[in-house]
Amino acid sequence: MLTDSLAAQLYAEICRIPLIDSHSHINPLQAASRSLDDILGYHYYTELAHSAGMSKAPLAAHVDPRERVRIIIEYMDRFDNTAQYGWFVDIARTFLGFTGERITPADATGLCETAERLMAQPDWEEQVLRKSNIEKVFLTNDFDDPLEGFDTNRYVPCLRTDDLVFHLDKPEVRQRLAKATNVEVHSWRDVQTAVTKLFEHFTRKGARACAVSLPPNFTPTAAARWEGTTDPTVRSQAIFWLLADHCRAFKLPFDLMIGVNRRVYANGVYQGQDLFDQRTSLIQYAELFNSFPDVIFPISVLTSVQNQELASYSWIFPNVITHGHWWYSNIPVYVERDTRARLQAVPKTKQIGYYSDMYKLEFGLPKFNMYRRILAGVLADDFVRAGSHSETQALELARLLLRDNSRRIFGV
């Protein structure tokens, strides 16, 4: 797939670096897929099929999974140009022995059967991780996750706090919090106590990061007071600040995923409803970055437009780290450009190259492959051929981006 021989050579070497995947949505109790329906249930496929004309009916729970798979594949010839389709072909070839050129509805039943047979093997999860060369996978854990029953050395817990920051006024969230912490939230003091308990629980269980996704207009500030207001924005700001302070106290990096508007397409498929407003700026986080010099902030931005801000803020602020290529920016043209900008402007020790954002383990390989190909091309053109780096030095750079920086920053 890489016609440039230097890039192909670098790619082959880069693939030998064991990966630390610093952000995913893996369920560690069922990390790998059990069927093709698990694979094609990824929102990228359901939303692209829906966008291309498929109704939401095949996605209903009662529909036979194989029938659902067949229908989604049927619609694929409307989006077989996309990067996401490419991931699926990569999975079919690497994990399911597919040898054809394109995947058509005629392949559906065969692929479903192969998938069920192979994925039923007791060591399937191990096989996938081994083939993908992934060593550790960070999770996205609800605050009330017991974090039991899995190897937290392989699947690293991460406290996801969207519910706390944006939904704490909802009764069901308060109930979940009460159940998790034995604290009923009536006052700001209660919020503080509950959050401290959560951090104690998570760090005891090996959590290595706190994380939150934020809308484009969010602006953290120390001035926000939770008590004495019912303004949801101010309450969100207050809790956010409290979390940052706990990250400081518990020495956890605080992953910020900046820029998503939820439910923009209200009738979209599950997880296929969120979009963004490009008009956002990291200047909104200046007070935060200044106030917590000891907290490391790995930052994901949703748009390539904002990548110049990210590269520049990371170039200036010691505690700002560039973190992966998120969601709508995770297509080759933007990954390449953003990678080049970061490599030209940000200290190499402050960059985490990529994470999978995956829900099922099988996606680690095709997504990291996409990134590794791009990285190999950038290293070949901008560093080795430009004369500034030997191949060995270029590979050391890749190793920082794919492994060593994550190990140091998250302490794993």
Q: How distant, in Å, are the alpha carbons of 108, 164, 194, 211, 330 from that of 72? A: 10, 35, 44, 32, 22
- Using CB under 8 A, pick the residue from 101, 172, 186, 230 that binds its own copies: 101
Cα distance between residue 367 and residue 331, in whole Å: 10
51 lies in the site for its own copies, by CB under 8 A: yes
Q: Which is nearer to its own copies, 137 or 301 (CB)?
A: 301
Does residue 223 bind its own copies (CB under 8 A)? no
| Residues 238-277 interacting with its own copies (rule: CB under 8 A) | 261, 264-268, 272-273, 275-277
Q: Using an 8 Å Cβ cutoff, are 113 and 92 in contact? A: no
What's the closest the beta carbon of residue 17 comes to its own copies, in angstroms? 17
Q: How far is the CB of 194 from its own copies (least distance, A)?
A: 32
Q: Which of the residues 368 through 397 are near its own copies (CB under 8 A)?
A: 382-383, 385-390, 397
Q: From the CB of residue 287, how many other CB atoms can be counted at a distance below 10 Å?
A: 15
List 82, 94, 127, 152, residue binding its own copies (CB under 8 A) = 82
Instruction: Work out how close the CB of 195 gets to its own copies at its nearest, in angstroms, rounded to a whole number.
Output: 27
Strand partners, 352: 323
Q: In whole angstroms, how close is the CB of 406 to its own copies at the nearest point?
A: 16
Return the residue of 173, 331, 399, 412 that touches its own copies, per CB under 8 A.
331
Helices within 121-231 (DSSP H only): 124-132, 162-167, 171-181, 188-204
Neighbours of 278 (CB within 10 A): 11
Q: Does 411 bind its own copies (CB under 8 A)?
A: no
Interface characters, 281-310, with its own copies (x: CB under 8 A): xxx--x--xx--x---------xxxx-xx-
Residue of the chain from 34, 63, 79, 180 that contacts its own copies (CB under 8 A): 79
* Sequence-distant (≥ 6) Cβ neighbours of residue 236 within 8 angstroms: 165, 166, 218
